[in-house]
Amino acid sequence: MNRNRIMVIDDDSETLKLMINQLEALYDTEGFSSGEDALEALKCAKGGRLPDLILLDISMKGMDGYEVLDHLKGNEKYRKIPVVFLTGMTDEVSECRGLEMDVVDYLKKPVPGKVLFARIQHYLDLYSDTGTKGQLNEYMLEALSSPLTPREHEVAKLMAEFRSDREISEILFISMPYTKKLVASVKEKLLIEKRGDIRKYLI
């Protein structure tokens, strides 16, 4: 059975080495010290196999994390790869900017090993074809005139489990105001007024 593939992008050599050492026991892990090198590696991916998840630092020399993310989201081939910002930037403005760019999470360094593994596995399961997305009718979602972003898809999945805003906030580790904004956006795109109406998008 193929192991999930994780790409780590961080220009701090010590952090990069530590991350690879932590992750390679469970995942096929590849590290890059610059955004430019990582994007070039994606173009030349062995056997065309792309990473299942990318851990991306924000503050880097040359191309920073935001620029790397722009390139990923602007390419149809790469835009569905879940990206997690792993950064020392702890201010609210940086975090909101990252979340608004559709990263699936924003983890602040240093991240305890158990927390890191739990978050990674959560997103691998969520975005895997064999993961936990079965409750939603993906064909109906793909037919939407305004497709859900990856973050909105996460929220829609939890709404389909009839989770409250508070539960969604806690499960996804995002603020309540941002949770309410995402829930409102999902309802608008699904053309539903009440949360319970999401039943029509269930298999």
Domains of the chain plus CATH, in order, are 5-127 (3.40.50.2300), 138-201 (1.10.10.10)
Residue 88 reports pLDDT greater than 50: yes
pLDDT tens digits, 111-152: 888 888 888 888 887 776 544 443 688 888 888 989 999 999
Section 68-75 average pLDDT: 90
Cβ neighbours for 84, distance < 8 A, ≥ 6 positions apart: 53, 54, 55, 56, 103, 104, 105, 106, 107, 119, 120, 123
